[in-house]
Amino acid sequence: MGIGKIEFIERYGGIRLGESSEQLKSRISEIDELELKFRSGSLNMIELEAIQRRLCDLKGINFDDDDDESY
């Protein structure tokens, strides 16, 4: 059984306009690989930030956006 629509959007950032199925598969694969590396516990802070930035880019999230006004 596959993942639900909401979970897919949260995990992979959804499907991009004009993105081919091969591009989507490649992006999903890279996200999965980066998340495994991130959780490995073997990276320093600089490597962790680089992975976070790349994950945000792949998911369409602005890493440096300060829109969260909850704090």
How much is the pTM? 0.82
Collect all residues with Cβ–Cβ distance below 8 Å to 16 and sequence separation of at least 6. 23, 24, 60
Q: Which two tokens stand for residue 8?
A: 């897919």
As a whole number of angstroms, the distance between CA 25 and CA 59 comes to: 13
* Structure token pair of residue 57: 């880019």
pLDDT in tens, 5-61: 999 999 999 999 999 999 999 999 999 999 999 999 999 999 999 999 999 999 998
